[in-house]
């Protein structure tokens, strides 16, 4: 089993983390709650102990489902959630203020049916709350035992000068990275080094395109966010490039007797040192396929071919 200890913590996590966005049952097409719950339990059976969600996924629905499903396994799983995206009155905005942290944290703990959150992440920096005030509030909650570790998300190197004084308290940051999205690769390595924090990758399957199950005819219903052009992995030149990447992945997957999706996960595990790969899953089969990535290794030649086609 491929696992790491998150730096600055005593949390040991599998290098595959199950993403809880589909569990929000909103914006990911048709999702069955029972199937998602089964997928989480399947992941546990396959040695995955790390689960990611956010208070904003399905406006709390994802946290509720995750909390209910994982309650019998609470002692052996590591639960990560996020705060900072507020939605009310048809508006969405970011809020990292200490007062809101207190409220959001208590609500997340209730929905997750837990006294403590293992990894509490800032979903987006709001650009208003001083980073010192935000970090000091999070550290106070850590010292009280409300949270075990602090993580960030969607950060860029320009905020490093404000964050590095807190490097001893920051365990992780969660950013977009995959064979289909390598634009921030150098920045992620720099941030991992400067913050002594583990990079958690989202979009690891290119929102599904890197699983090999979609082709030029790909089409999503309106209730699926991928029907929107901003999900560029499925449109135009980007789609064509992704299909070329998948063409290189296929024989590699066959050689290892694994599904294409697990090659997408495995490439990140080997390309981004000390990383954890988050994948959203809707079914037990998807959870099982993605977990297979923890049990094989790409050869140097395979790694090089994938790195080249995705450059």
Ligand X SMILES: NC(=O)c1ccc[n+]([C@@H]2O[C@H](COP(=O)([O-])OP(=O)(O)OC[C@H]3O[C@@H](n4cnc5c(N)ncnc54)[C@H](OP(=O)(O)O)[C@@H]3O)[C@@H](O)[C@H]2O)c1
Binding residues for ligand X, per CB under 6 A?
19-22, 28-29, 52, 153-154, 174, 202-208, 211, 213, 259, 261, 278-282, 286, 289-290
Our CB check for ligand X shows the closer of 169 and 231 to be 231
The nearest distance, CB 268 to ligand X, in angstroms, is 11
The nearest distance, CB 175 to ligand X, in angstroms, is 7
Measured in residues, the chain has a length of 311
Are 291 and 43 contacting, i.e. CB atoms less than 8 angstroms apart?
A: yes
Are 119 and 148 contacting, i.e. CB atoms less than 8 angstroms apart?
A: yes
Largest alpha-carbon pair distance within the chain? 53
**Measured between alpha carbons, how far is 220 from 51 in angstroms, rounded to an integer?**
26
The nearest distance, CB 57 to ligand X, in angstroms, is 7
Query: Secondary structure of the chain: what % helix, strand, coil (to 5)?
Result: 50, 20, 30
Our CB check for ligand X shows the closer of 68 and 140 to be 68
Tell me which residue has its CB nearest to ligand X.
Answer: 19
**Measured between alpha carbons, how far is 70 from 77 in angstroms, rounded to an integer?**
8
H/E element holding 141?
helix 131-144
Our CB check for ligand X shows the closer of 75 and 221 to be 221
The nearest distance, CB 295 to ligand X, in angstroms, is 14
The nearest distance, CB 98 to ligand X, in angstroms, is 21
Our CB check for ligand X shows the closer of 129 and 207 to be 207
**Which pair of structure tokens corresponds to residue 254?**
């066959």
Are 157 and 125 contacting, i.e. CB atoms less than 8 angstroms apart?
A: no
């Amino acid at each position: 089993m491929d696992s790491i200890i998150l730096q600055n913590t005593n949390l040991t996590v599998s290098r595959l983390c199950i993403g809880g966005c589909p569990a929000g049952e909103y914006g990911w097409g048709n999702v069955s709650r029972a199937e998602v719950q089964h997928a989480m339990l399947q992941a546990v059976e396959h040695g995955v102990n790390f689960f990611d969600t956010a208070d904003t996924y399905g406006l709390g629905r994802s946290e509720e489902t995750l909390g209910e499903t994982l309650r019998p396994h609470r002692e052996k799983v590591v639960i990560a959630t996020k705060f900072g995206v507020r939605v009310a009155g048809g508006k969405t905005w970011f809020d990292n203020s200490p007062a809101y942290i207190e409220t959001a944290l208590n609500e997340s703990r209730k929905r997750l049916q837990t006294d403590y959150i293992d990894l509490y992440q800032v979903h987006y920096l709001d650009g208003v709350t001083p980073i010192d005030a935000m970090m000091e509030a999070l550290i106070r909650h850590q010292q009280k035992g409300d949270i075990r570790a602090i993580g960030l998300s969607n950060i860029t190197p320009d905020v490093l000068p404000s964050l590095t004084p807190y490097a001893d308290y920051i365990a992780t940051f969660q950013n977009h990275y995959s064979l289909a999205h390598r634009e921030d690769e150098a920045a992620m390595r720099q941030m991992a080094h400067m913050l002594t924090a583990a990079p958690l990758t989202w979009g690891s399957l290119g929102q599904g395109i890197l699983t090999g199950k979609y082709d030029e005819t790909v089409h999503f219903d309106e209730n699926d966010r991928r029907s929107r052009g901003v999900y560029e992995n499925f449109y135009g030149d980007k789609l064509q490039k992704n299909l070329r990447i998948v063409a290189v992945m296929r024989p590699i997957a066959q050689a290892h007797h694994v599904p294409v999706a697990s090659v997408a996960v495995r490439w990140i595990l080997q390309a981004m040192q000390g990383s954890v790969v988050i994948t959203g899953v809707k079914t037990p089969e998807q959870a099982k396929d993605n977990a297979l990535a923890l049990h094989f290794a790409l050869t140097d030649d395979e790694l090089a071919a994938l790195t080249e086609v995705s450059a």
